[in-house]
Amino acid sequence: MTFTNSLSRSLGPAGLFLMLAACSSPSTSSPENDKTTTPAASTETSVAAPADSPLQIVARFREPQIVGVAVLPDGRVFGDFPRWDNNPVNPVAEIKPDGSVQGYPDANWCTWNETTRNEPQKHWICPQSVYADKTGMLWVLDPASPGLKGTVPGGPKLVKIDPATNKVVQNISFPESVAPRKSYLNDVRIDTQNSYAYITESGIGSLVVVDLKSGKARRLLALHPSTQGDTTLNIKADGQELIDATGKRARFNADGIALSQDMQYLYWKPLTSYTLFRIKTAALRDPALSDAQLTQQIEDLGKVPACDGMEIDAQNNLYMTTFEDHSIKRRTPTGKIELVVQDPRLEWPDTFAFSADGGTLYVTNSAIHKTPTWNKGIGKQDQPYHIFKMSLRK
């Protein structure tokens, strides 16, 4: 991610790394860089597609950087562009068939400036995730930490939008007891059977469980080893270890998250880790269980590749954006790791979405390893950010 010197001074090295979310920040702050280009108009600059690659380009973006992607049953595609160092005009957007973007659900929600700061619940502050649930509703998770400088009071929220009307139908605000100032709500999955949301929080490291009927949320497993990144590992991308200008190794806490098709199990892992965890969602929904009791129900599923995003298909294969070697892999229900696709254009593959029928996989790339933080202050992004898609049908 791109961090300013002032952020480093204000947080210090330890605080800075606790604040890292598992995605990268745009490398420039100029408003003119908040532009997108359509697939027809864009050209790659340094990385060519392999002749046999199944990846097809849905859209390209020079700046700002896209992180999340969601696909509705009718095929509409949405993305989010968090506010880190610049101020995207469309931090949440519908991606049109020609690759252009339209702010979503409207321009007012996409506006965050001095005139809107007294309404943190009515505007996208730093949206991190977009997600389409099984009923076709769109959810946006906003950790409300612009520039990763700490949450805006009253800003962290989970918002439900009905795409049929393009209107917000539920807006859940998280208090500081659930989303502390140094937290960063990262990714979300929706349990439509039980009306719950499950969230990874990567700033401090925890899980957040939300009762969607009451709007009440609980912060669980904070600082537990299963939610903490491991700084003893040599996590790499493009063969280079992620080390900042001070010599500190990257530490990314609880990030990747996936919900089994029957909604009985939640899977998660810290990004800087090679270990996958899961727990029964019934345990997470039980407010009578303490963290100590929850710990006893966590299953260590063993070693998997380092990855950012995760998602599960109808056969309960766990897909992972394995950024260390420009690939997507999957873990079968028996624990076997299989290569799905390897393509040099997958510069830090980030977030997944499936089409409604499960036959098409969408993925973004965010090139975190090429941002100035991990390159002695010099941004090395040499290709567009993308939304790709590929068919999973044999």
For the chain, the residue count is: 394
If DSSP codes are grouped into helix, strand and coil, which group holds residue 226? helix
Greater pLDDT, 74 or 87: 74
> What's the pLDDT at 314?
93
Second CATH level (architecture) for the domain 5-391: 6 Propeller (2.120)
Positive or negative, the Cα torsion across 187, 169, 358, 66? negative
Which residue bears the tokens 């003119």? 32
pTM of the model: 0.89
What's the pLDDT score for residue 149? 87
State the average pLDDT over residues 29-42: 38
pLDDT in the model for residue 43:
43
Concatenate the DSSP letters of all residues of 163-194 into one string.
TTTTEEEEEEE--TTTS-TT--EEEEEEETTT
- Domain spans of the chain? 5-391
Q: Is the pLDDT of residue 293 over 90?
A: yes
pLDDT digits (tens, 9 = 90+) for 249-266: 888 999 999 999 999 999
Mean pLDDT of 169-175: 98
Among 41-50, 70-79, 362-371, the minimum mean pLDDT is found in: 41-50
Instruction: Output the pLDDT for position 229.
Output: 95
Dihedral sign (CA 83, 103, 66, 200): positive
pLDDT tens per residue, range 117-156: 999 999 999 999 999 999 999 999 999 999 878 999 999 9
Taking 60 as the threshold, does the pLDDT of residue 364 lie above it? yes
What is the percent of the chain where pLDDT is above 90? 74
As given in the structure block, the two tokens for residue 79 are 């993305």
Taking the C-alpha atoms of residue 371 and residue 361, their distance in angstroms, rounded to an integer, is 26
Task: Reply yes or no on whether the pLDDT at 368 is more than 90.
Answer: no
Query: pLDDT tens digits, residue range 307-321?
Result: 999 999 999 999 999
Asked if pLDDT for residue 15 goes beyond 90, the answer is no
Q: Which of 362, 358, 356 is nearest to 341 (CA)?
A: 362
**Average predicted confidence (pLDDT) for the chain:** 88
Quote the pLDDT of residue 130.
Answer: 98
Checking if the pLDDT of 25 tops 70, the result is: no
